[in-house]
Amino acid sequence: MKDRLLKVLKHNFGYDSFRLEQEQVISSVLDQKDVLAIMPTGGGKSICYQLPALMLQGLTVVISPLIALMKDQVDALHANGIAAAFLNSTQSSQEQQKIMQQARTGGLKLLYLAPERLNGGNGQYFFRFLKEVNPVLFAIDEAHCISQWGHDFRPEYLQLSVLKKQFPATPVIALTASADKLTQNDIIEKLELRQPKVFISSFNRPNIYYYIEPKRNAFGSIVEYLRHHKDDSGIIYALSRASTEGIAGRLREVGIAAMHYHAGMDSAERNKVQEQFQRDEIKVIVATIAFGMGIDKSNVRFVIHHDVPKNIEGYYQETGRAGRDGLRSDAILFYSAGDIVKLKKFIAIENNQQQTAIAEKKLRQMQEFCEHEGCRRQYLLQYFGESAPAYCGSCDYCLGELEEKDATVDAQKLLSAISRTGERYGANYVIDVLRGSAAEKILPEHKELKVYGIGKNLKKEEWAWIVKQLLQNGFITKSDDMYSVLKLNEKSWLILRSESQVKLVMKKHKAQAVAEDAPGYEKDLLKMLKEVRLEFAEREHVPAYNIVADTALIELATYLPQNYDELKHISGFGDYKVGKYGSGFINAVKAYSKEHGLESQMHFRKQKKERKERIAPAGPSNTQMVSLKMFKAGLPLDEIAEQRNMTVSTVEGHLAAFIATGELNISQFMPREKAETIMKAIKQTGQVHAIKPIKDLLPEDVSYGEIRMAMEHYKRMQMS
């Protein structure tokens, strides 16, 4: 069976191997089992029902929430030579009758429908049609929409429980990208799935780089980012319809072509904007969450949240619209506590205290994520119940420069202020007391306290950072209500009594989203191949990525296949696409190769095994190169640090990048004995990324920068 599945996968979709849980999901469906499959966006959910549809004798019916998504999926299936169609309100009754007749006569393998099709007076008529064609499989896409605990509840999805009543023997596969345990159980119950097999793939999207920025001059930061990514497609999410129109208008004023999208626009206008975006005629869309659910555009390179989302599920799904092709993409969120205050007013659900409480809890978790002083990816994965290391190497925290700080005295000041104000106030009030604020909200008796004004040495944001770190390390707690009052605990009193020290990890430099590094492929050839793809797309009136994805073009521009047999080994080129589009791409590659004296590099491309979700490490940054140049000029580390207004540890971190490449040797920076001591600690912790656990095992005179150097030396030794 496995060989047969792989043969269908390669022939129809052009892939050599399955990803994540695809094979197990497909096998369960073919065994006539009900299935709930939770896979990250871009994880290949659609193949989990499309491939069985090709192997089963009969029609597969797919329930999909958006007209644009249906069309996109059907266009993609047609590009692979698969008979598929959709029924929706954009079609005339004659067009719909023609498609239904195709289904009756066995001319279709997949038929896409909106859930509304099964509702109302026409529902009974449509069920009679379904009884005629007797589907062999039902697929429910975006299944979280059936749950009131999900982040995008749609009442029309509740009607789908009737499928099991009308077709008890027909298997149902429900699919979604994000669902917590409560939502998972609700999906199973509402769809009346019978002893379903549940598959939960990793929620990790390693090609997405997560950044959270303070919401100060967010528009200016967005403009700067877009000017560095002018050839990339992306989505900017905003909370209100007015905001989408305002931001898009301001972007156009500064010369950036952008359009807005929200539910208040008429359907024709919305469809036009979405189609222009899908065909790369518009690069930037500023939208409310009405835009994008299930959108199949594979080459979205960035998702920017101008405002904070209501919950982590929504944030995860929205950021997941970037990088569906597996290439590096950015998720940037501009955070303001003011957004949380605004959202609190909108999440209350009338006459439903239980659901309101859940919505408030999810909002608090979103706030915690934004304020978290640690790896973003780890927080996300742990939220969904998945373990993760403390260092991912691809978020603003892990990419930033870290330095340890003794914060015992500052912590004692803060803890004393919490205690003396009666453990009845939130962080902002306590910080205002510490800094000696003259605001009217400060009670007169608190202005008489010894702690009033003793924290003027630090800025408000520095105190806020200390509060976050103390909370994360369990040195204080906060109440689980809307007021978030700070409370002392046993650890707090140990610090106040000077029985325990507080050492916090401080970000010296915050990483920001930057343009990608120089490519390892023929850049000019890639442009030519995109033009070839665009010609095919315009001829067939479909988005370019439905012809082949960017990943396939990058492989072409890297390995330079010279004939059809070699082209078949490029990911995404199944037999149908090789026959239909192969000549255009092969001719472009051959012409470019001849002009530049290049030959096929396919011998360097090993036969693909199961895809590893891995991102190539970024090359040295400009600031690292400056430190290297000064070091090679003979300047000692302390002088480099002084001239560049940095710490020695930061400079050591810069130069560690060149130990990784072999350009520098660790012996240039420390005695052999010291290097061996650090590497022994690395082995003991089993860490090659997270520095803090290693630092805890080492003497005080070992800096973070030296640990980075030893890490790179250790990793290089392991690879050799």
Last residue of a domain, one of 200, 216, 240: 200
Q: Does any domain span residue 194?
A: yes
Beta carbons of 238 and 288 less than 8 angstroms apart: yes
User: What backbone torsions phi and psi does residue 592 show, to the nearest 5 degrees?
Assistant: -65, -45
Q: Which of 200, 233, 266 is at the close of a domain?
A: 200
Could you tell me the pLDDT band of residue 682, with boundaries at 50, 70 and 90? confident
- Which of these ranges, 11-20, 139-148, 694-703, has the smallest mean pLDDT? 694-703
Report if residue 611 sits inside a domain.
no
The whole-number pLDDT of residue 617 equals 42
Across 600-622, average pLDDT: 53
Q: CA 434, CA 451: separation in Å to the nearest integer?
A: 6
Same structural domain, 387 and 412: no
Residue 616 included in any domain:
no
Per-residue confidence (pLDDT) for residue 295, from 0 to 100: 62
Residue 492's CATH number: 1.10.10.10
CA distance 399 to 391: 9
Residues whose CB falls within 8 Å of the CB of residue 477, separated by 6 or more in sequence, listed in order: 471, 486, 487, 488, 489
pLDDT of residue 205 exceeding 80, the answer is: yes
CATH assignment of the domain containing 245: 3.40.50.300
Residue 477 belongs to what H/E stretch? strand 476-478
**206 class by beta-carbon count within 10 Å (0-12 exposed, 13-18 middle, 19+ buried):** middle
pLDDT band at 294 (very low <50, low <70, confident <90, very high): very low
Compute CA 313 distance to the chain's CA centroid, rounded to the nearest angstrom.
11
Question: For residue 122, with 0-12 CB atoms within 10 Å meaning exposed, 13-18 middle and 19 or more buried, which class applies?
Answer: exposed
Q: Are residues 328 and 373 in the same domain?
A: yes
* pLDDT average, residue stretch 398-408: 75
Residues 113 and 131 in one domain: yes
Mean per-residue pLDDT of the chain: 85
Boundary-marking domain end, from 142, 174, 200: 200
Query: CA 123, CA 115: separation in Å to the nearest integer?
Result: 10
16 is written with which tokens? 């050599």
* pLDDT per residue as tens digits for the range 140-162: 998 888 887 666 777 888 888 88
Q: What is the pLDDT of residue 611?
A: 36
160-173 per-position pLDDT tens digit: 888 999 999 999 99
Give the domain range for residue 458. Answer: 402-509
pLDDT at residue 687, rounded to an integer = 57
Q: Give which of 272, 256, 346, 365 is closest to 304, Cα–Cα.
A: 256
How far is 574 from 81, CA to CA, in rounded Å? 10
φ, ψ for residue 176 (rounded to 5)? -155, 160
The half-sphere exposure of 406 on its side-chain side, counting CA atoms within 13 A, is 4
Instruction: From 153, 60, 58, select the one nearest 112 (Cα to Cα).
Output: 60
Residues with Cβ within 8 Å of 417's Cβ and at least 6 positions away in sequence, in order, are 430, 433, 434, 449, 451, 455
The domain that contains 586 carries what CATH number? 1.10.150.80
Q: Using one digit for the tens of pLDDT, what is the confidence trace for 330-384?
A: 999 999 988 998 888 887 777 777 778 888 888 989 998 998 878 899 899 888 8
Lowest-pLDDT range of 153-167, 284-298, 541-555, 567-581: 284-298
* Model confidence at 308: pLDDT above 80: yes
Give yes or no: residues 167 and 57 share one domain.
yes
Question: Quick count: other Cβ atoms within 10 Å of Cβ 471?
Answer: 19
Give percent of the chain with pLDDT exceeding 70.
90
**Domain identity same for 177 and 196:** yes
Q: Please indicate whether residue 524 or residue 641 has the higher confidence score (pLDDT).
A: 524
Name the one residue in this structure whose structure tokens are 């240039």.
668
514 part of a folded domain = no
CA distance 582 to 586: 6
pLDDT at position 705 is 81
pLDDT 10s digits, 455-503: 998 988 889 888 988 887 789 998 876 667 999 999 999 999 999 888 7
Helix (H) or strand (E) holding 356: helix 353-371
Smallest Cα–Cα separation from 179: which of 145, 230, 214, 229? 145
Same-domain check for residues 392 and 248: yes
Of 404, 427, 419, whose CA–CA distance to 496 is shortest? 419
Bridge partners, residue 488, by sequence:
476
| Nearest CA among 710, 720, 658 for reference residue 689 | 710
Spatial CA neighbour of 491 closest among 469, 466, 468, 474: 474
Give pLDDT tens digits for 209-221: 999 998 988 999 9
Same domain, 212 and 332: yes
CATH code where residue 699 lies:
1.10.10
Q: Which residue has the higher pLDDT, 630 or 105?
A: 105
Lowest-pLDDT range, 30-34, 191-195, 458-462?
458-462
Token representation of residue 196: 């379903």
DSSP assignment of 89-140 equals: TTS-HHHHHHHHHHHHTT--SEEEE-GGGGSHHHHHHHHHHHHHH--SEEEE
Whether residue 88 is contained in a domain is answered as yes
pLDDT score, position 510: 52
Q: Is residue 360 part of a domain?
A: yes
Q: Is residue 610 part of a domain?
A: no
Strands of the sheet containing 208-214, edge to edge, are 208-214, 329-335, 300-305, 233-237, 284-287, 258-261
Say if residue 107 is in the same domain as residue 179.
yes
- The count of domains in the chain is 5
Helix, strand, or coil here: 645? Answer: coil
Shared domain check, 265 and 123:
no
Q: Are residues 184 and 46 in the same domain?
A: yes
Q: How confident is the model at residue 396 (pLDDT cuts 50, 70, 90)?
A: confident
**Is the per-residue pLDDT at 509 higher than 60?**
no
Answer whether residue 123 shows pLDDT above 80: no
Q: How does residue 517 score in pLDDT terms, banded at 50, 70 and 90?
A: very low
pLDDT value of position 197: 93
667 and 576 housed in the same domain: no
Between the CA of residue 14 and those of 10, 17, 210, 569, what are the distances in Å? 4, 9, 31, 8
**Nearest in space to 44 (alpha carbons), one of 24, 58, 67:** 24
218 to 175, 394, 522: CA distances (angstroms): 35, 21, 35
Pair (393, 256) in one structural domain: yes
Collapsing DSSP to helix, strand or coil, 483 comes out as coil
The winner for highest mean pLDDT among 92-106, 139-153, 281-295, 477-491 is 92-106
At residue 350, what are phi and psi to the nearest 5 degrees?
Answer: -60, 135
Signed CA dihedral, 688, 693, 694, 700: sign only: positive
Instruction: Indicate whether 36 belongs to any domain.
Output: yes
Averaged pLDDT for residues 221-249: 92
- Which two three-digit tokens encode residue 684? 């003991």
Confidence at residue 607, expressed as pLDDT on a 0 to 100 scale: 44
Cα gap 439→446, rounded to integer Å: 12
